[in-house]
Amino acid sequence: SYSGYHCMGHLLGSDPGFFREVKWSGSHLQSLLLVKAGEADSAAIDTVTFDLLRKFAPSYVSGIRIVQETAPAPAPPLVSSWQWSEEEFVAIQTALHRLWQDAAAKTVCRELLLDGFFVWRAEDYAVCRAWV
C-alpha cells in the first residue's frame, strides 16, 4: 500500500540502498503470498487486513512474523468514487450509519472488525503525512 511503503521508509530511514529491490504486488494479500513464497523478504500490511486474514483465512498468515508495528493511523476500510454526487455520498454515509442501529448488522460489522463509520478530517492524517 502507499501508506505502507512510506511507513517502511519512515521506520527504516531514507537509504535507497536498504532494499535490494522493491516489488509492487497490487494487494496486501499478494504481498503476503510473495513473502510466504520467498519472493520477498518483507511487506507492509495494514493491521485490519492482517487481523481479518488471521481470523478468516489463517493459512495466509501462518509462518508470517510481525517485525514492527507503526503508531495507529486513520485508514478507513471504505472509500468511494470521487465522481459521486454529494447526494449519493450522503446517502451512502447515512446507510452505513444506520447499520449501527440494527443489532444483527452491528454484530456482523464487529465480526469484520468494523467498529463504526465516520468521515476523517484532513488533519487526522497528519501522522501519515509525517511519514512521507
Give pLDDT, residue 3.
65
Burial of 45 (0-12, 13-18, 19+ CB in 10 A): buried
pLDDT band at 75 (very low <50, low <70, confident <90, very high): low
Mean pLDDT of the chain: 81
Contact between 124 and 74 (Cβ < 8 Å): yes
Residue 7's CB is within 10 A of a number of other CB atoms, namely 21
What pLDDT, on the 0 to 100 scale, is given for residue 77? 54
The pLDDT value recorded for residue 38 is: 92
Look at residue 132 and tell me whether its pLDDT is greater than 70. Answer: no
The confidence band for 35, taking pLDDT boundaries of 50, 70 and 90, is very high
3-state SS class at 27: coil
Q: Is the pLDDT of residue 80 over 90?
A: no
Residue range 23-36: mean pLDDT, rounded: 90
Task: Please give the pLDDT value at position 36.
Answer: 94
Residue 19 confidence (pLDDT) above 60: yes
